[in-house]
Chains A and B, each alone.
Chain A
Amino acid sequence: MTEVLAEAIITEPHPATNKWADVWRQFSHHKGALIGLLFFAFITLFVLIGPYIWTLDPNKLDIRAKDMRPIYTVLWNGEARVGWNHPLGTDNLGKDLLAQLMQGGRTSMAVGWTGMVLALFIGALIGVVAGFFRRLDGPLMRFTDLVLSLPILPLLLVAVTLFRESLSQMLGIETGMFILIVTIIGLTSWMQTARIVRGDVLALKEREFILAARSIGTPNNKIITRHILPNVLSPIMVSATLGLATAIITESALSFLGVGFPPDFPTWGKQLADAVPRMTEYPERVVLPGLAISLTVLSVNYIGDGLRDALDPRIRGR
């Protein structure tokens, strides 16, 4: 009886479809994720293609056009200095805010993504190894605790002062700083991922299908790639979204302290930091980059959320 019923259920709504079509269908049911994806696509295009359309040099100083307000200020303040040649206004040196936002976004996104991928890779590797191989669990997790207990900010400062010169000389100041910052972010933010992944692997390892794989004669590396990794994908995905946020924010913090990228190299974090002293007079200079950071992070979070649901076969198809 049950067999018959189950068969009816199987054959009806699921003509064995392509897995990714399935994932997409589930994903598109998640409204937040869809909006997140749209916004993320928008902001990516904004920073990638934007500078080709709005060709103003973000570092061009134009003292006569300094301290202009964004166009929309006219709505409540008819006397504000606005102009279509600087739709989002300019800063105290006359640099165009829109161009800076685009250029800064490029850097922030690049740092965010690379830092996140690096942190994720280290975290997932250490987490899986610690969870899977019992003998390495103790040493690796104590190492994780050790890194977690290090005061990050002084460490960053020391690392930057130590390596800035040599890296800048080797690779040029901008690439050098980029690699330095990304490495530092990667090396200091993998711990949460490692802990989460380890916990999940520990639980997974006790599931019967892992025992089944072992009894079948599947070698350890295949067990990890075939059975463990696909099942820890969802926590990794969630850490990824959080990791992108942390990476962008850490970069801002570094810029805020003045140890990040060189001064004429805009990032969202630095724009925000630079504008803080005159926040009350020119709130847009804080709000716009701040909004860019938080909306990007939020949209990535939602995408991660939707992706996690879509990738989980237990939820998919409900």
Chain B
Amino acid sequence: MEALTALIVGLLVAASVYLMLARNFMRFLFGLILLSNAANLVIFASGRMTPGAPALVPYGEDAPLGAVGNALPQALVLTAIVIGFGLLAFTLALAFEAYRRLRTMDSDKMRYAEPKEERE
């Protein structure tokens, strides 16, 4: 199971690097999404993959009975997903507004903040 997850993480990172090397900002953004999902999988796997019991405490007990899955990485991943989602929503809105105002998605042509003589 760990080996499979590691493979998937590797694939995701490779695909995201490929996408992020593109000049088109949208492709960069898709690469970013894949990369953040790869990071989430890394956290998930770091809690050790155990098949079986969820981390639930039976009624009237103080601790789970027997061995259960590690709940902490799942909580961390959940937090990371929520934060990542918020940032992504902002970035998409930014990309849209930038396209509307700058009329381009090509990062090589985004030179408005550079000195005049360096602009194309």
**Do A and B originate from a single complex?**
no
Task: Tell me the A residues contacting B by CB distance below 8 Å.
Answer: none
